[in-house]
């Protein structure tokens, strides 16, 4: 049976961040007049990630400014930078919102256009926070997708079937009417299968030749894989 809906992961499948967050941080700190020792910053960045990882990100749905203030405050504290009112943290957060850092893979627009032209409904299922909606708008992807489902609102991360079921409900389709494409075997392949959805593994760097599912290296292979509906 040809699918009715094709779901995509977001990061690593449709888009990527460049330069990496650590370098963006250092760039923004320099703009604010701070040039920390790279080793000291690296330690502060690691500690902030470990500490923030213990927070329940689901509880910050619609409150990501508060979350990032806490996260940024950890880095500033380790670097000995005072920011009692969160002004610097807000500046860092605004800096991360610039469209310069976010990029589409070169095969994305052509693939989405071809799939939509062939009558497929498209959706996103991503382990992400509500800021992803802004990224989609910046990248000009908002109109390409019928539904967007992300883990912070679903209160479940892939591979938990809960987030896939929410996406299916929104798309109005059964699991056997859907395909999910992603770059993480555990999150995307295992997760989709647990929800009864057929997975396609996107392996851009060709590092996973022996996976036990349909594997592609370029999103332009999707339409031939699922078939034209015209």
Residue 230 pLDDT more than 80? no
214 vs 225: CA distance, rounded Å: 9
Per-residue pLDDT, averaged over 153-157, amounts to 97
- List domains and CATH numbers for the chain: 5-17+102-226 (3.40.50.1000), 21-100 (1.10.150.720)
CA angle 125, 128, 134 (to 5 degrees): 95
Burial of residue 166 (number of CB atoms within 10 Å: 0-12, 13-18, 19+): buried
pLDDT > 70: what percent of the chain? Answer: 98
What are the pLDDT digits (tens) for 38-48?
Answer: 999 999 999 99
Asked if 202 contacts 183 with a C-beta cutoff of 8 angstroms, the reply is yes
Whole-model pTM: value is: 0.94
Q: How confident is the model at residue 33 (pLDDT cuts 50, 70, 90)?
A: very high
CA angle 108, 212, 197 (to 5 degrees): 60
Per-residue pLDDT, averaged over 141-163, amounts to 97
């Amino acid at each position: 049976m040809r699918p009715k809906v094709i779901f995509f992961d977001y990061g690593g499948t449709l888009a990527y961040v460049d330069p990496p967050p650590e370098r963006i941080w250092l760039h923004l700190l320099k703009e604010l007049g701070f040039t920390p020792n790279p080793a000291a910053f690296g330690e502060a960045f690691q500690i902030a990630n470990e500490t923030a990882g213990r927070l329940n990100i689901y509880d910050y749905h619609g409150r990501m400014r508060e979350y990032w203030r806490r996260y940024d405050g950890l880095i500033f504290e380790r670097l000995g930078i005072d920011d009692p009112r969160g002004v610097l943290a807000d500046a860092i957060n605004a800096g991360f919102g610039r469209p310069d850092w976010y990029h589409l893979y070169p095969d994305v627009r052509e693939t989405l256009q071809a799939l939509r032209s062939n009558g497929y409904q498209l959706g996103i299922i991503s382990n992400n926070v509500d800021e992803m909606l802004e990224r989609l708008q910046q990248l000009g992807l908002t109109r390409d997708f019928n539904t967007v489902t992300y883990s912070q609102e679903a209160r479940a991360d892939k591979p938990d079937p809960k987030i896939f079921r929410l996406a299916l409900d929104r798309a109005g389709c059964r699991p056997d009417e859907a395909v999910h494409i992603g770059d993480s075997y555990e999150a995307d392949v295992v997760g989709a299968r647990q929800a009864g959805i057929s997975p396609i593994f996107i392996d851009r760097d060709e590092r996973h030749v022996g996976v036990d599912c349909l594997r592609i290296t370029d999103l332009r292979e999707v339409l031939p894989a699922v078939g034209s509906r015209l």
